[in-house]
Amino acid sequence: MIRIDVPATSANLGSGFDSLGIALTMKNRVWMELSDTLSITCKDDADVPKDETNLIFWAANYLYEKCGKKLLGLEIIQENNIPLARGLGSSSACIVAGILGANHFLGNPFSETEIINLAARIEGHPDNTSPAISGGLVASAMEGDKVYSVSVPVSENIRFALLIPPFELKTEKARGVLPKEYSREDAVYNLSRSGLMTASLFSGKLENLRVAVQDKIHQPYRLNLIENGEDIFEMSYELGSLGTYVSGAGPTIISLIDEKKADEYEISCIKMLQEKGIDGWDVKILSAAAEGAKIISNDI
């Protein structure tokens, strides 16, 4: 039985809509073995499909069909550390795990570049799947069915404070509130800031992050879907956030924090949430994950 570790990811990073993503030090684990039947169990209480609609199995079967092979079944054991439907790449992690596992069982016919292309084709965009595979901060663009992406390391000076709410927000709903057209001014506004975000995270220029997270493409529309979202934004800046943004389609909100102040921020954040009566939100301090998904062979 093999084990596949896949990192959580945060897409957009404010201004980099559907183009920027980063891998984080929170991982799903999937144990997988070929079988004549399909068996899916969880090491936690996550409510995941136990049939052929399970995304891990579906992605694995997709790869088998691409190779003209028949996948009879799999034994899959899931450890779901990435919260579902919270804007942290839980579906991308399943897709990547399924593809990597299937590729391993088939004798690795696909390269990493081809796997990145296949994962983005399944997900519909590469901003979560690419960093889940490559690790680090990833800038991606799709040209037809092909992904062009670059992964760069993130400065050790930066930590990511995840404020995870006790409710889900489906990507379809979050995309549904976005306008069909934008002005040239708004496009330029975001382009300049997404470039600034990439360079600042790589170089550790902390003073740039407050401007780099700003955007006019998706956050002004999605924040209204997140209960207490505006309060969380205001609170984060009161506590010294360098820049705060909606992770992916939401509802998780992430604050970029100076590494030296991360512990203090976590304690103060939990206390202020309690004082404001905002219940059920979880606070986690993570780093950028330099390494993407990987397979550990013969793990029981």
Share of the chain above pLDDT 90, in %: 95
Q: What is the pLDDT of residues 7-28, one digit of tens each?
A: 999 999 999 999 999 999 999 9
| Two tokens, residue 33 | 């073995």
User: Which CATH number does 2-153+289-296 carry?
Assistant: 3.30.230.10
| Two tokens, residue 110 | 């696909």
Spatial contact of 24 and 289, defined as CB atoms under 8 Å apart: yes
Is the domain spanning 158-286 CATH 3.30.70.890? The answer is yes
pLDDT, residue 45, reads 86
pLDDT, residue 170, reads 87
From the CB of residue 300, how many other CB atoms can be counted at a distance below 10 Å?
5
Across 111-121, average pLDDT: 95
Any long-range contacts for 50-56 (C-beta under 8 Å, 24+ apart)? 54/94, 55/91, 55/94, 55/95, 55/98, 56/30, 56/32, 56/94, 56/95, 56/97, 56/98, 56/101
pLDDT, residue 145, reads 85
| Two tokens, residue 5 | 């570790």
Domain boundaries, the chain: 2-153+289-296, 158-286
From the CB of residue 124, how many other CB atoms can be counted at a distance below 10 Å?
11
- pLDDT, mean over the chain: 95
Angle between helical axes of 55-66 and 112-123 (0-180°, round to 10)? 120
Strand partners, 24: 8, 288
Distance (Å, whole) CA 9 – CA 286: 11
Distance (Å, whole) CA 219 – CA 85: 17
Q: What is the pLDDT of residues 268-282, one digit of tens each?
A: 999 999 999 999 999
Spatial CB neighbours of 164, under 8 Å, sequence gap ≥ 6 = 83, 86, 88, 252, 281, 282, 283, 284
pLDDT, residue 134, reads 97
Look up the pTM and report it: 0.94
Q: Which DSSP category does 88 fall into?
A: S
Buried/exposed 142-169: b ≥16 CB within 10 Å, e otherwise? beeeebebebeebeeebbbbbbbbeeeb
Residue 42 has pLDDT above 70, yes or no: yes
pLDDT, residue 299, reads 66
| Two tokens, residue 9 | 């990811």
Q: Label residue 25 exposed, middle or buried (CB < 10 Å: 0-12, 13-18, 19+).
A: middle
Across 85-111, average pLDDT: 96
Q: What is the pLDDT of residues 199-258, one digit of tens each?
A: 999 999 999 999 999 999 999 999 999 999 999 999 999 999 999 999 999 999 999 999
Residue 300 has pLDDT above 70, yes or no: no
Distance (Å, whole) CA 235 – CA 276: 10
Identify the band that residue 46 occupies on the pLDDT scale cut at 50, 70 and 90: confident
